[in-house]
Amino acid sequence: MKKFLSLLLILCLALGCAAFAEEAAAPALQKNLVVLFTSDVHCGIDSGWGYAGVYAVKENLSKDNYVLLVDDGDAIQGEPIGTMTKGEGIIDIMNAVGYDLAIPGNHEFDYGMDRFLELAEKADFPYLSCNFNKEGELVFAPYAIKEFDGVKIAFVGVSTPYTLRSSTPSYFMNENGEFIYGFFQDATGEGVYNAVQKAVDDARAEGAQYVIVMGHLGNEDECTPWKYSDVIANTTGIDAWLDGHSHDTDQVVMQNKDGQDVVRSACGTKLANIGVLTIGKDGSVSSKLYDWDLDIAAPKLLGLNNAGSEAVSAAADVLNEKLSEVVASTQVDLVINDPEAVTDEGKPIRIIRRAETNLGDLCADAYLDQSGEADIAFVNGGGIRVTIEKGEITLNEILKVHPFGNSLTVIEITGQQVLDALEWSVHSLPGEFGGFDQVAGLTFEYDATIPTPCQQDEKGFFAGIDETMERRVRNVLVGGQPLDPEATYKVASHDYQLLNQGDGYTMFVGAKVLQESVKLDNQVLIDYITGTLGGVVGEEYDNPYGQGRIVSVGAEE
């Protein structure tokens, strides 16, 4: 018996030593691993570093380091190259540059669910997300593991539930208007926290020595409880967090649920910076940015000629070809100028900023239609730039109508706020005002012969109504019914006016946001004309002075 116990003791010691030896001999990196990351590029293919610059940095660092290139979302939307190719042009460039991994941001869905899933298939790199799901089943793998010198590094993807508001909600619904896609969203944030924790734990169980989260969550308070800091504070096992969505460049070290440090890094937007996360041979984890703050983009200044620049050039060629494509037609001239009157010098007289026009009606109708839920739509006349002449319409012509890159947004406000907005819209009449709104879903009358009751602050922004004065606006009808100041209405316009106080519209501050920056203004118009109208702007827009939605009742008129 003693002999048996002695043998058992020896065996246990031997096993313990073996385990210790195995632990001591854990694999280690022979070279530093550099994870380059981009985020919120928004089609800025040749701005900042440009994709050619990203490629050059990747190739140069690869001489002495292991290098991975990843993207944290919102790559395929934001400029004409994205709109015109419905994201494909950007995927082609990312393939050429050599991305290893990506996650979906909220704007990856802006061309529709089916289209994004097609693009994900076309990509030479996998998309990851531990919380993007269809009826509870993950659409993409929650994580991926990359291995160097026997060291496993896991990358976990997580996408913001804010997507359901900031992209088109109907894209996430079935034909009955029921949400079938989601992001494990709930009021507490637990759904997202649990999804991230499960992915981290599964990756660790698979042997990952490091876990890096690729997040598109950001730091904005309106995204609570799904900010990056919310998730880090409620999870464990994450070494580093590469973040997007809020366009910030913060480099942060914060503690997780167990009090352990997590490195968080973000790289801004439009390739102004390249994020750099380094896992050193010594096991250290650190982050920094390669910034490009010059007015001239790196590819142009440095004369870069590589796979990235070739892909950007090819995309530009595709864009130019598509811009010349005829995509629709109009049976009438769609105007911003008075079709009859001219100046004494024979020059056109612009009326889009002080009167209804048929192009103004068309643009407002597009916002109302493409919102999918609004009661009313506003579009500022200053954002409608050129006339479209009768005949064929090219994509380039539509882009010239809305060149500013504003995005469809929907808010909920009271009827009283609608009245104040209309009053501000006409406050400068009979003079021009870039904020004079073309409208859809409502009609109203105004009298510009009486003084405006609108008050302005020192910046010239709306500061309220002098209630001792008569209002200019009257007889407002929404859907043919009198507007109720106490009721709530859903209003579609763009982020410039509804969210950013563009043209001094301060009465919308604090409004409930239903959809935020869903799609570009020119895409709104393209989709309305080519989709809803079947590619033909018809006789319903034949009156250049519009359909009688905005009617002057002033004596001098």
First to last CA, the chain: 116
Q: What is the pLDDT of residue 110?
A: 83
Tens of each residue's pLDDT in the chain, 557 residues? 555 545 544 544 454 544 444 445 679 999 999 999 999 999 999 999 999 999 999 999 999 999 999 999 999 987 888 888 889 999 999 999 999 999 999 989 988 899 999 999 999 999 999 999 999 999 999 999 999 999 999 999 999 998 887 777 778 889 888 889 999 999 899 999 999 999 999 999 999 999 999 999 999 887 889 999 999 999 999 999 999 998 899 999 999 999 999 999 999 999 999 999 999 999 999 999 999 999 999 999 999 999 999 999 999 998 888 888 898 999 999 999 999 988 877 888 889 999 999 999 999 999 999 999 999 999 999 889 889 999 999 988 888 898 777 899 999 999 999 999 999 999 999 988 889 999 999 999 999 999 999 998 877 789 999 999 999 999 999 999 999 999 999 999 999 899 988 888 999 999 999 998 888 898 899 999 999 999 999 999 999 999 999 999 975 44
Q: What is 28-320's CATH number?
A: 3.60.21.10
Residue (of 199, 93, 100, 98) closest to 142 by Cα position: 199
Residue (of 153, 146, 145, 159) closest to 108 by Cα position: 159
Residue (of 82, 31, 67, 28) closest to 290 by Cα position: 67
Conformational region of residue 78, where left means phi above 0, alpha means psi within -120 to 50, and beta covers everything else? left
Provide CATH 3.90.780.10 ranges for the chain.
326-552
Provide CATH 3.60.21.10 ranges for the chain.
28-320
Tokens of 393: 């319409």
d(CA 164, CA 182): 7
Helices (H), 73-143: 80-85, 88-97, 113-122
CB count within 10 Å of CB 451 equals: 11
Q: What is the pTM of this model?
A: 0.75
The strand ranges marked E within 416-487 are 437-440, 442-446, 454-456, 462-465, 473-478, 481-482
User: 326-552 belongs to which CATH class?
Assistant: alpha beta
In sequence order, what DSSP letters do the residues of 470-526 get, joined into one string?
--SEEEEEETTEE--TTSEEEEEEEHHHHTS-GGG-GGGTTPEEEE-S-SBHHHHHH
Phi/psi at 289 (5° precision)? -125, 140
